[in-house]
Amino acid sequence: MNIQKMKGPILIFGAGGFIGFNALLTILNKRKDVVGVSHDPNSNWRFNAGLVSAIHIKKCDMNKREKLTQILTEIKPRTILNFAAFGAYSHQKDPNLIYQTNFNTTLDSIEIAKKIGFDAYVYAGTSSEYGLNCIAPKEQDELVPNSHYAVSKAAVSHLITYYGKIENLPITHLRLYSAYGPWEEPKRLIPQLILHAERGGFPPLVNPLISRDYVYVDDIVQVFIQSALHINKMKGSIFNVATGNKTTIRQLVHTVKSLANLKQKPVFSSMPNRDWDLVNWYGNATKLAKITQLKSFSSLEKGISETIKWHSIKKIWHL
């Protein structure tokens, strides 16, 4: 993945979250000039279970500009990977905190970093920015966000475009589809499927026709690394990070059923759909493939298999 070629020091915002933590572990495996930022690292289950040395973790409430300034001034990162977000989970509903965390703090971080100087800033957007326009949209297609979270992230995409195209800063925006894999929040669907499979059954399930574009987390981390390395070709641009495959809940469940050798049959529609559930939700990543060296993504079978293997070793997830 050419991690050694990334300009350092490297700073990861949102390093206590699912994708940010995977990025931190991946980079730490190859080099030591990386620091992960979290608002409450001492109580973060990933940091505690992952045994990350305290020298690679900094506590910072990014919504406090003076703290953000202090971190950036102290570390002087040349590469910044920003995974910080609020509103992605159903219990994170405060609109003011959503916009503060996702938009205002991103604006602050760029303005502060701009004064210090940096070589690459890669931001984690979301496929939710497309909202109702969710059938394999291209990056230039209309955004029809259907939540405050989606609106805030869509606003950041325009911010990134401005900074890259108008101010010529080395910055890019990646719209991520449904990430899964090791260290995911245990209450999410795929961890729940794996945990219930251990007991020979299934969790409550929504309509089997609901779909997602599932992207294995290792592939997403590779995209961030490649984006930092190809930033001059990507600055001011937006890229979908997707497999391009529409995977229904039925297909996902039966993939887990097969890999776990389950005999029991799943019961679909045993729980109501979530507000954001859509029947056709998948991406188009042809633009990304032309820029980065990552030519293909892990198959669902491989990604799920690797996740099951990781869980069988770590035993961190619990029902």
Among 181, 285, 298, residue whose Cα is nearest residue 242: 285
Instruction: Tell me if the bond preceding 41 is cis, omega within 30° of 0.
Output: no
Give the contacts of 180 (CB within 8 A, at least 6 positions apart).
Answer: 188, 190, 214, 215, 216, 217, 303, 304, 307
Domains of the chain and CATH, by start: 3-182+214-244+284-298 (3.40.50.720)
CA distances from 104 to 64, 86, 163, 290 (A): 10, 12, 14, 31
Question: Is 249:206 a contact under the CB 8 Å cutoff?
Answer: yes
Look-up of token digits 């219930």: 196
Question: Is 199:136 a contact under the CB 8 Å cutoff?
Answer: no
| pLDDT 10s digits, 16-58 | 999 999 999 999 999 999 999 999 999 999 999 988 999 999 9
Strands 247-248 and 211-212: antiparallel
Q: What CA–CA distance (Å, rounded) separates 75 from 35?
A: 8
C-alpha gyration radius of the chain: 19
pLDDT tens digits, the chain, 319 residues: what are they? 689 999 999 999 999 999 999 999 999 999 999 999 999 999 999 999 988 999 999 999 999 999 999 999 999 999 999 999 998 887 888 999 999 999 999 999 999 999 999 999 999 999 999 999 999 999 999 999 999 999 999 999 999 999 999 999 999 999 999 999 999 999 999 999 999 999 999 999 999 999 999 999 999 999 999 999 999 999 999 999 999 999 999 999 999 999 999 999 999 988 776 666 668 889 999 999 888 766 689 999 999 999 999 999 999 999 8
| pLDDT 10s digits, 227-253 | 999 999 999 999 999 999 999 999 999
Q: What CA–CA distance (Å, rounded) separates 134 from 132?
A: 5
